[in-house]
A and B are shown apart, each in its own frame.
Chain A
């Protein structure tokens, strides 16, 4: 465990909690892509099946349980409890265009052709693109609430910190996981355009809105 990985994990946790609290406190999930949240719930479910097979540390287990729990709570709020506020008309990204190629790739490029390992690989690939429905929704409506942009910022920050973590681990532990690294780079790149808008607009106190 190094400082980049820890802050990366905490940043990820912050993103998840910010989103959940925003929805809970405002009793509204307007502007949030339910599809992205379902994809994230699927990501955590398929990745953390090793909760049942191997114990790594109390920290590891606790964080996994919190991530899974929060992601399902978010999906529950969006599709059940606060369904009336869900902006489904603008959440029109076709997720099968992500799931099918990602599933195929997980079968073709993995560390080991076993069920758990393929599901883990699937979750890594899926996570790298799971935010696309949310970004698509923002590009469609042309704006995002400031709190939503904070959520996206912490989610992107988590990824950027993990990249530094992998450089660290390569130098000091000789560890590298090519699948995680390539997917992580792709994921971070997807956030770059958003980061630019966040720094130039949101941090200067303006609302994030895109030119028509």
Chain B
């Protein structure tokens, strides 16, 4: 499983 979490907050 290739999945990168996008953390859009600082």
Q: When the two chains form their complex, are residues B10 and A67 in contact, meaning their CB atoms are under 8 A apart?
A: yes
Residue from B4, B8, B9, B10 in contact with A116 in the complex, judged by beta carbons closer than 8 Å: B4
Contact across chains for B4 and A56 when beta carbons are under 8 A apart: no
Q: Chain B residues in contact with chain A, CB under 8 A?
A: 3-10
Collect the chain A residues with CB atoms within 8 Å of residue B3's CB.
112
Tell me which residues across on chain A come within 8 A of B7, comparing CB atoms: 47, 50, 120, 177
Q: Give the residue of B4, B9, B10 whose beta carbon is less than 8 angstroms from that of A53.
A: B4
Name the residue in B3, B5, B8, B10 with the highest tally of chain A Cβ atoms < 10 Å from its Cβ. Answer: B10
Cα distance, A95 to B10, chains bound together (Å): 24
Residues A112 and B10 in contact, CB atoms below 8 Å apart: no
Alpha-carbon gap, A12 to B4, bound state (A): 26
Q: Chain B: interface secondary structure?
A: loop
Interface mask (A47-79 → B, CB under 8 Å = 1, otherwise 0): 100100110100010011001000000000000
Q: Are A54 and B6 in contact (CB under 8 A)?
A: yes
Contacting residues, chain B, for A63 (C-beta < 8 A): 10
In the complex, A168 Cα to B3 Cα: how many Å?
Answer: 26
The contact sample of 25 A-B pairs, CB cut-off 8 A, is A5-B9, A9-B10, A12-B10, A47-B7, A50-B4, A50-B6, A50-B7, A53-B4, A54-B4, A54-B6, A56-B6, A56-B8, A60-B8, A60-B10, A63-B10, A64-B10, A67-B10, A111-B5, A112-B5, A116-B4, A117-B5, A120-B5, A162-B9, A165-B9, A180-B9
Number of interface residues of A (CB under 8 A): 21
Nearest neighbor of B1 in chain A, beta-carbon distance:
A112
Instruction: A12 to B3: give the CA distance in the assembly, Å.
Output: 30
Q: Which residues from chain B contact A116 at a C-beta distance below 8 Å?
A: 4
**Whole-angstrom CA separation of A180 from B10 in the bound complex:** 11
Bound-state CA distance A148–B2 (Å) is 44
List chain B residues, Cβ under 8 A from A5. Answer: 9
CB distance from B1 to the nearest CB of A (A): 9
